[in-house]
Amino acid sequence: MNQPELEAYLDEALPAEEMARIEDRLRREPELLAELAAINARRDAGVHSLGEIWRRHRLSCPPREQLGGLLLGTLPRAQAQYLRFHIDIVGCRLCQASLADLENQQAEAAEAVQTRRRRYFQSSAGYLNR
Ligand SMILES: [Zn+2]
Protein backbone atom coordinates (compact mmCIF):
# COMPACT_ATOMS: atom_id res chain seq x y z
CA MET A 1 0.00 0.00 0.00
CA ASN A 2 1.43 3.39 -0.88
CA GLN A 3 1.45 6.59 1.07
CA PRO A 4 -1.07 8.54 -1.05
CA GLU A 5 -3.50 5.71 -0.45
CA LEU A 6 -3.01 5.94 3.29
CA GLU A 7 -3.29 9.72 3.15
CA ALA A 8 -6.58 9.38 1.34
CA TYR A 9 -7.68 6.87 3.92
CA LEU A 10 -6.95 9.34 6.71
CA ASP A 11 -8.99 11.94 4.88
CA GLU A 12 -11.74 9.39 4.42
CA ALA A 13 -11.59 10.36 0.79
CA LEU A 14 -11.87 6.87 -0.65
CA PRO A 15 -14.86 4.92 -1.87
CA ALA A 16 -16.50 2.86 0.89
CA GLU A 17 -15.27 -0.36 -0.62
CA GLU A 18 -11.69 0.86 -0.63
CA MET A 19 -12.00 2.15 2.95
CA ALA A 20 -13.20 -1.27 4.04
CA ARG A 21 -10.36 -3.01 2.23
CA ILE A 22 -7.77 -0.81 3.95
CA GLU A 23 -9.43 -1.23 7.33
CA ASP A 24 -9.30 -4.95 6.89
CA ARG A 25 -5.58 -4.77 6.19
CA LEU A 26 -5.00 -2.47 9.16
CA ARG A 27 -6.58 -5.07 11.44
CA ARG A 28 -4.19 -7.72 10.22
CA GLU A 29 -1.04 -5.66 9.72
CA PRO A 30 0.24 -3.75 12.74
CA GLU A 31 3.11 -2.33 10.65
CA LEU A 32 0.63 -0.74 8.30
CA LEU A 33 -1.23 0.85 11.19
CA ALA A 34 2.05 2.17 12.56
CA GLU A 35 2.82 3.61 9.13
CA LEU A 36 -0.58 5.24 9.07
CA ALA A 37 0.03 6.74 12.49
CA ALA A 38 3.43 8.04 11.34
CA ILE A 39 1.87 9.77 8.33
CA ASN A 40 -0.76 11.21 10.57
CA ALA A 41 1.84 12.48 13.03
CA ARG A 42 3.76 14.23 10.24
CA ARG A 43 0.76 16.25 9.24
CA ASP A 44 0.65 19.75 10.56
CA ALA A 45 -2.86 19.47 11.81
CA GLY A 46 -2.34 15.85 12.73
CA VAL A 47 -2.91 15.73 16.43
CA HIS A 48 -4.48 12.32 16.40
CA SER A 49 -2.85 9.66 18.47
CA LEU A 50 -2.75 6.10 17.35
CA GLY A 51 -5.52 5.36 19.83
CA GLU A 52 -7.66 8.06 18.27
CA ILE A 53 -7.15 6.69 14.79
CA TRP A 54 -8.09 3.32 16.13
CA ARG A 55 -11.27 4.49 17.77
CA ARG A 56 -12.23 6.76 14.92
CA HIS A 57 -12.07 3.94 12.45
CA ARG A 58 -13.43 1.41 14.90
CA LEU A 59 -10.81 -1.18 14.30
CA SER A 60 -12.36 -4.11 16.01
CA CYS A 61 -11.40 -5.94 19.16
CA PRO A 62 -10.31 -9.56 18.87
CA PRO A 63 -12.71 -12.24 20.10
CA ARG A 64 -12.18 -13.52 23.65
CA GLU A 65 -10.91 -16.92 22.48
CA GLN A 66 -8.03 -15.11 20.80
CA LEU A 67 -7.16 -13.37 24.05
CA GLY A 68 -7.17 -16.78 25.71
CA GLY A 69 -4.88 -18.07 22.98
CA LEU A 70 -2.55 -15.15 23.61
CA LEU A 71 -2.23 -16.13 27.28
CA LEU A 72 -1.65 -19.75 26.40
CA GLY A 73 0.82 -18.82 23.67
CA THR A 74 -1.08 -20.80 21.07
CA LEU A 75 -1.67 -18.02 18.54
CA PRO A 76 0.23 -17.66 15.27
CA ARG A 77 2.96 -15.07 15.66
CA ALA A 78 1.36 -12.37 13.49
CA GLN A 79 -1.91 -12.66 15.37
CA ALA A 80 -0.19 -12.50 18.74
CA GLN A 81 1.69 -9.39 17.56
CA TYR A 82 -1.55 -7.79 16.49
CA LEU A 83 -3.14 -8.46 19.87
CA ARG A 84 -0.10 -7.15 21.75
CA PHE A 85 -0.24 -4.07 19.59
CA HIS A 86 -3.96 -3.63 20.19
CA ILE A 87 -3.64 -4.11 23.95
CA ASP A 88 -0.27 -2.56 24.79
CA ILE A 89 0.22 0.17 22.18
CA VAL A 90 -3.32 1.18 21.34
CA GLY A 91 -4.20 0.46 24.95
CA CYS A 92 -7.69 -0.89 24.41
CA ARG A 93 -9.32 -0.79 27.84
CA LEU A 94 -11.88 -3.41 26.95
CA CYS A 95 -9.30 -5.99 25.94
CA GLN A 96 -7.02 -5.13 28.85
CA ALA A 97 -9.91 -5.89 31.19
CA SER A 98 -10.79 -9.13 29.39
CA LEU A 99 -7.18 -10.23 29.47
CA ALA A 100 -6.88 -9.54 33.21
CA ASP A 101 -10.08 -11.49 33.75
CA LEU A 102 -8.78 -14.45 31.76
CA GLU A 103 -5.49 -14.32 33.64
CA ASN A 104 -7.36 -14.61 36.94
CA GLN A 105 -9.38 -17.52 35.65
CA GLN A 106 -6.24 -19.32 34.54
CA ALA A 107 -4.51 -18.69 37.86
CA GLU A 108 -7.53 -20.09 39.70
CA ALA A 109 -7.62 -23.13 37.46
CA ALA A 110 -3.91 -23.75 38.02
CA GLU A 111 -4.41 -23.48 41.76
CA ALA A 112 -7.25 -26.00 41.66
CA VAL A 113 -4.99 -28.47 39.85
CA GLN A 114 -2.27 -28.04 42.45
CA THR A 115 -4.71 -28.56 45.30
CA ARG A 116 -5.96 -31.74 43.64
CA ARG A 117 -2.41 -32.98 43.17
CA ARG A 118 -1.54 -32.22 46.78
CA ARG A 119 -4.60 -34.08 48.03
CA TYR A 120 -3.79 -37.01 45.85
CA PHE A 121 -0.21 -37.09 47.08
CA GLN A 122 -1.28 -36.81 50.71
CA SER A 123 -3.79 -39.62 50.39
CA SER A 124 -1.26 -41.86 48.60
CA ALA A 125 1.36 -41.06 51.23
CA GLY A 126 -1.14 -41.92 53.92
CA TYR A 127 -1.87 -45.15 52.18
CA LEU A 128 1.82 -46.07 51.87
CA ASN A 129 2.53 -45.31 55.51
CA ARG A 130 -0.16 -47.62 56.71
ZN1 LIG B 1 -9.92 -4.18 22.16
**pLDDT for 46 beyond 60:** no
How many angstroms does the Cα of residue 83 sit away from the middle of ligand 1?
Answer: 8
pTM for this prediction: 0.50
- Alpha helices for 73-92 (secondary structure H): 77-84
How many angstroms does the Cα of residue 121 sit away from the middle of ligand 1?
Answer: 42
Instruction: Out of 32-46, 50-64, 83-97, give the one with best mean pLDDT.
Output: 83-97
In tens, the pLDDT along 100-118 reads 999 999 889 888 888 888 8
Supply the mean pLDDT for the chain: 81
In tens, the pLDDT along 77-101 reads 888 888 888 888 778 888 999 999 9
Residue from 60, 117, 116, 68 nearest 90 by CA: 60
How many angstroms does the Cα of residue 95 sit away from the middle of ligand 1?
Answer: 4
